[in-house]
C-alpha cells in the first residue's frame, strides 16, 4: 500500500500523460462519486424539512413550519400504529422464515456435487426475478377464476380461499411471495459461508464421535454466525422497507391491511397529498434503518475483511 502511494520522484515521467498532483489525485478520482452523494443528500435534507411542516398539496396556503407536530400526531394516529405493527410483523415473519428455510437448504446443499450445484443455481432464479414481477406472477397464480393455486386450494377443501384479496390471508400471501423471492438470498450467502469453513474442527469432532446434532450446534452454528448475522440484517433492512411486492400485489389493501411504511408514505404523498405526514413517516422508517444499518455495517465489514484475507 505504502509502496504504491510513494511517488518514484527520480523516475523520468512520460510526456503526454495526465498530470495531476499526487495529493490531489484521489480526490479528483472520487469527485464524481462525491457529487452523487451530495446530489442525494439534498433531497434527504428537503425531506427532513417537509417532515417538520404542515404541508398538504390540497391546501397550499396553509403550508407552515409546525415544530414536529406531524410526529406528535402519530401518537394518537391509529393508522400510524397499524403501519408500524404491520411493517414489523412483515419484516419479522419474512426474515425469520427465510432464515430457517435458507439455512436448512444451505445445509442440504453443503456438499459440493453436480446435483447440489445445479440446484443452488436453479434457486437463484426467483432471486433474480424483479420482485414487482414476481408479485404479478403470484397474482396470476392466485386468481380466483383460473389461478392454479386457487385450484389447488379448492382440492384440499379450501373452496373460497381468496389469497391477497381477503384481509385475513393478504399478509400470508405477500409473505409467501417474499419468501419465494428472498429465501435464495439467505441460502446462497450461508452456502458460501458453510463451504468456506475450515474442515479440521469437523474432522476432529467426527473422530471423537460427537453426534451430528451436537456438531451442528457447537461447531457449525457458532462458526457460521457472522454470515448469519450479515445475511439476516441485510434482509431485515430490505424487508422493513418492502414496497415492490406489496404495492404490486395489493397496493396496501385490502383496506389498510398491508400499509407498510413505504406504501403508506407513497399513498400519503400521491393520494392524500399530505406531504408533511408522508415525510415524517419516512423519517421514522429512516431512523429504524439507520439504527439497523449501523449494526449491519460492523458485521459486514468484519466479514469483508475476512474475505479479503486482511483480518
Partner 1 sequence: MEHTSTLERVLRGIALSLIVLFFMFPLFWIFLMSFQTNETILRIPPSLFFEPTLGNYKALITGKLDTAAGSLDIAFMKNLWNSVLLSTSAVVLSLILGVPAAYAFARHKFRGSEDIAFTLLSFRFAPPLLVLLPLTIYFQQLGLADTYVGLIWVYQLICLPLILWIVRGYFEDISADVEYAYRIAGHGWFATFRKIALPLAGPGIAAAGLLAFIFAWNNFVFALVLASADKQPVTVAALAFVTASGIQYGQIAAGIVLSITPTLAIALYAQRYLVEGLSLGAVKG
Site membership for partner 1, residue 307 (CB under 8 A): yes
Smallest CA-to-CA distance from 288 within 247, 245, 233, 246 is with: 233
Task: Give 62's DSSP letter.
Answer: G
Site membership for partner 1, residue 259 (CB under 8 A): no
- Collapsing DSSP states into helix, strand and coil, what is residue 64? strand
| CA dist 99 → 58, 127, 223, 288 (Å) | 44, 15, 16, 21
On the question of a cis peptide bond just before residue 244, with omega within 30 degrees of 0, the verdict is no
Q: Which of 62, 72, 108, 158 binds partner 1 (CB under 8 A)?
A: 108
Task: Please measure the distance between the N-terminal and C-terminal CA atoms of the chain and give it in whole angstroms.
Answer: 16
The C-alpha atoms of residue 201 and residue 304 are separated, in whole angstroms, by 23
Residue with cell 425531506: 47
Stretch of 61-69, 90-98, 179-187, 216-224 lying at the interface with partner 1 (CB under 8 A): 179-187
Per-residue string for binding with partner 1, 201-230, x by CB under 8 A? -----x--------------------x--x
Nearest-approach distance from CB 206 to partner 1, in angstroms: 8
Question: What are 247's three cell numbers?
Answer: 404495492
Site membership for partner 1, residue 275 (CB under 8 A): yes
Q: Which of 60, 75, 125, 207 binds partner 1 (CB under 8 A)?
A: 125
Site membership for partner 1, residue 279 (CB under 8 A): yes
- Closer Cβ to partner 1, 171 or 190, answer by number: 190
Stretch of 61-69, 88-96, 165-173, 187-195 lying at the interface with partner 1 (CB under 8 A): 187-195
Answer whether 293's CB lies under 8 Å from 237's CB.
Answer: yes
On the question of a cis peptide bond just before residue 254, with omega within 30 degrees of 0, the verdict is yes
Q: How many residues bind partner 1 (CB under 8 A)?
A: 109
Residues 62-101 that bind partner 1 (CB under 8 A): none
Nearest-approach distance from CB 81 to partner 1, in angstroms: 19
Q: Which of 137, 205, 219, 223 binds partner 1 (CB under 8 A)?
A: 137
Per-residue string for binding with partner 1, 1-40, x by CB under 8 A? x-xxx-xx--xxxx--xxxx-x--xxx-xx-xxx-xx-xx
- Collapsing DSSP states into helix, strand and coil, what is residue 59? coil
Amino acid at each position: 500500500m505504502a509502496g504504491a502511494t510513494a511517488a518514484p520522484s527520480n523516475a523520468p515521467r512520460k510526456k503526454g500523460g495526465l498530470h495531476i498532483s499526487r495529493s490531489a489525485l484521489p480526490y479528483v478520482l472520487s469527485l464524481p462519486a462525491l457529487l452523487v452523494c451530495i446530489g442525494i443528500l439534498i433531497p434527504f435534507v428537503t425531506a427532513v424539512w417537509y417532515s417538520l411542516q404542515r404541508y398538504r398539496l390540497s391546501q397550499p396556503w396553509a403550508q407552515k413550519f409546525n415544530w414536529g407536530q406531524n410526529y406528535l400526531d402519530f401518537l394518537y394516529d391509529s393508522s400510524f400504529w397499524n403501519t408500524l405493527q404491520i411493517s414489523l410483523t412483515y419484516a419479522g415473519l419474512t426474515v425469520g422464515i427465510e432464515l430457517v428455510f435458507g439455512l436448512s437448504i444451505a445445509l442440504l446443499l453443503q456438499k459440493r456435487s453436480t446435483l447440489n450445484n445445479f440446484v443452488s443455481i436453479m434457486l437463484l432464479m426467483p432471486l433474480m426475478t424483479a420482485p414487482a414481477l414476481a408479485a404479478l406472477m403470484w397474482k396470476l397464480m392466485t386468481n380466483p377464476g383460473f389461478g392454479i393455486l386457487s385450484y389447488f386450494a379448492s382440492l384440499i377443501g379450501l373452496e373460497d380461499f381468496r389469497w391477497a384479496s381477503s384481509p385475513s390471508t393478504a399478509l400470508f400471501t405477500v409473505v409467501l411471495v417474499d419468501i419465494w423471492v428472498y429465501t435464495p438470498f439467505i441460502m446462497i450467502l450461508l452456502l458460501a459461508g458453510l463451504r468456506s469453513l475450515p474442515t479440521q474442527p469437523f474432522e476432529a469432532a467426527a473422530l471423537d464421535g460427537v453426534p451430528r446434532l451436537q456438531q451442528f450446534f457447537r461447531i457449525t452454528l457458532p462458526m457460521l454466525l457472522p454470515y448469519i448475522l450479515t445475511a439476516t440484517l441485510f434482509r431485515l433492512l430490505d424487508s422493513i422497507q418492502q414496497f415492490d411486492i406489496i404495492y404490486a400485489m395489493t397496493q396496501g389493501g385490502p383496506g389498510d391491511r398491508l400499509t407498510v411504511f413505504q406504501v403508506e408514505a407513497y399513498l400519503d404523498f400521491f393520494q392524500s397529498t399530505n406531504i408533511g405526514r408522508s415525510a415524517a413517516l419516512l423519517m421514522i422508517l429512516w431512523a429504524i434503518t439507520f439504527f439497523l444499518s449501523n449494526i449491519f455495517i460492523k458485521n459486514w465489514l468484519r466479514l469483508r475483511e475476512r474475505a479479503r484475507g486482511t483480518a
